[in-house]
Amino acid sequence: MDDLQVHQPALTFYIVSKKEMLLRIREREIATYVWMGVLGTILTIAFNRKSLNFDVLLIIPLLAAGISMRISQHETIIAKLAQYCKKEIGPFLKKGQPPELRHWDESEALKGQKTIVGLRNIINSILFVGPCLFSIILNYNDFFNNGATSYKFVWVTSLFLTVLTIYFMIKSLSDRLNAALVKIREERKTTGSGRKRR
């Protein structure tokens, strides 16, 4: 097989994978914006001027668990697609290219983004987990003082969903950190082998 026969399918796979990544990034951002809008609405209802209605806050963990699960799925697939583009397709695309020609995945400009990605994941975790914990804590006394079994069921379910949300946020952060660690190890191997040759 000549280089063109290998390069063209690799380029097609790369383009399709990058489009999938961009779609998932967009959907992840939309989910975050929807969450902020919904959270603002719930907080407005709970803390209106006429009366405080903390019971309404118990819906937060349910919504947070659902949205954080979607975000976690997107984060995982985004990280896997990035690895696929770099490790599996990248070598086919590099054939016949000058060594100084780098793709975005290997560019110097991208190196500073690791901190931003980690910071975004931490902020997302706070944005999702914080309100869940807040709703559980504000309704804690009612759990013991309210004799209704249905209220206790809702509170325990909200607590479980809060734990589930924490799991999804940790998984999302873990997937992104693992992808970053793989990249760092590869860079060290490349740098180490470059030093040995000199």
- Which candidate, 97, 60, 141, places its Cα nearest to that of 106? 97
- Structural domain boundaries enclosing 117: 3-96+105-193
Is 168 within a domain? yes
Quote the pTM value.
Answer: 0.74
Does 198 map to a domain?
no
**What pLDDT does residue 6 have?**
65
| pLDDT over threshold 90, residue 37 | yes
Count: domains in the chain: 1
Is 80 exceeded by the pLDDT of residue 102?
no
Contact (CB, 8 A) for 159 and 62? no
H-type helices in 47-148, by residue range?
Answer: 60-83, 90-94, 113-138, 140-145
Q: What amino acid occupies position 150?
A: S
pLDDT for 1 beyond 80: no
The three-point CA angle 63-177-31 to 5° equals: 25
